[in-house]
Amino acid sequence: MSTLKLANANPGRKLFSSKVATTVVWVITVLWTVPTFGLFASSFRNKQDIFLSGWWHIFTNPHLTLSNYHAVIFGSSSSTLSDGVLPYLMNSIVITIPAVIFPVVIATMAAYCLAWVKFRGSDALFFFIFCLQIVPIQMSLVPLLQLFTGGAHIGSFTIIPKLGIAGHFAGIWLPHTMFALPLAIYLLHNFIASLPRDLMEAAYVDGANHFKVFRQIVLPLSVPAIAAFAIFQFLWVWNDLLVALTFASGTEEVAPINVKLASLVGQWGSGWETLTAGAFVTIAIPLIVFFSLQRFFVRGLLAGSVK
């Protein structure tokens, strides 16, 4: 009886759980997937077929080849990508892993401190960190690059010396870490603050200090929230082009794979066959990361939303 009253009181719930809603979701999913499938199909077509016909001709005239992937991975003298993307793929891995670990570690400790180690001005500090999210990344790139290359000075007095890290991996790790911290602290703070107060107080009564509580209680319980943010941060850094172009300073030794793939069209204007294959090479590692952590993803997204 109560279930029937609930259904009658909420007709929208009945509508969105109907077969019509399911059909709409499937249609949207298919339409969303079509461009990606077209890119995937084009990656197996040769250059001539790509320029002469659309990707859907793969069903009527399936001339497939793996030469595009061979050229992308190992390089080819006949391709605009003569040296392959393996060095740049390794650069992306070297850039992304520390750029995920650093903000996660710092933000987790900061979130615990702001949530459970109360001090004067802690709430104001938390709101200030939250407001830093409104600062556009594009406005901070050039000043930050000037700081790395020339330092900060007032007249002849040096406030911050020249760091000299532009064109090195550290010059890319640091901006990604700085840009990620406000959102990471906000998300993790909401989750850590929602942990049971009785559990925390019992640990303090038993003589545990903050470090022990953080290591043995907070970290194990915060795995879903940490994993959810780690997925987002990994995808943001892996797919980034703007920060890499700015702080790599044109140095190919630290350039990620996105910079190299962008040059296929930006520099040469004719590398569509290798660009499509290279796009799916870059997709492989994020897919592995996402499916490895997907069981934490939904729980992490909802973490802290209900206290």
pLDDT at 2 over 50: no
pLDDT at 3 over 60: no
Domain ranges of the chain: 2-74, 86-305
Q: Name the residue with higher pLDDT: 78 or 231.
A: 231
Task: Please tell me the predicted confidence (pLDDT) of residue 238.
Answer: 92
Task: Please tell me the predicted confidence (pLDDT) of residue 161.
Answer: 82
Rounded to a whole number of angstroms, the CA Rg of the chain reads 25
DSSP 8-class letter at 221:
H
Mean pLDDT throughout 164-171? 85
8 Å CB contact between 169 and 96: no
Task: Please tell me the predicted confidence (pLDDT) of residue 305.
Answer: 47
pLDDT at 9 over 90: no
Task: Please tell me the predicted confidence (pLDDT) of residue 210.
Answer: 85
Q: How many CB atoms lie within 10 A of CB 283?
A: 15
19-23, 90-94, 302-306, range with greatest mean pLDDT = 90-94
Split at pLDDT 50, 70, 90, the class of 78 is low
Task: Please tell me the predicted confidence (pLDDT) of residue 173.
Answer: 92
Task: Please tell me the predicted confidence (pLDDT) of residue 287.
Answer: 82
The amino acid occupying position 135 is V
Q: What percent of the chain has pLDDT over 90?
A: 14
Q: What percent of the chain has pLDDT over 70?
A: 85
8 Å CB contact between 31 and 23: no
Query: 299, 180, 297, 305: which is closest to 228 by C-alpha?
Result: 297
Decide which of 3.30.360.10, 3.40.50.300, 1.10.3720.10, 1.10.1520.10 is the CATH code for 86-305: 1.10.3720.10
Query: 279, 281, 256, 242: which is closest to 91 by C-alpha?
Result: 256
pLDDT at 177 over 90: yes
Task: Please tell me the predicted confidence (pLDDT) of residue 293.
Answer: 74
pLDDT at 299 over 70: no
Mean pLDDT throughout 174-189? 91
Which residues 6+ apart lie within 8 Å of 194 measured at CB?
303, 304, 306, 307
pLDDT tens digits, 197-254: 888 888 888 888 888 889 888 998 888 889 888 888 998 999 888 888 888 877 778 8
Task: Please tell me the predicted confidence (pLDDT) of residue 181.
Answer: 93
**From CA 163, how far away is CA 152, in angstroms rounded?**
10
Mean pLDDT throughout 150-159? 80
Task: Please tell me the predicted confidence (pLDDT) of residue 104.
Answer: 94
**From CA 65, how far away is CA 72, in angstroms rounded?**
13
What average pLDDT is seen over the chain? Answer: 81
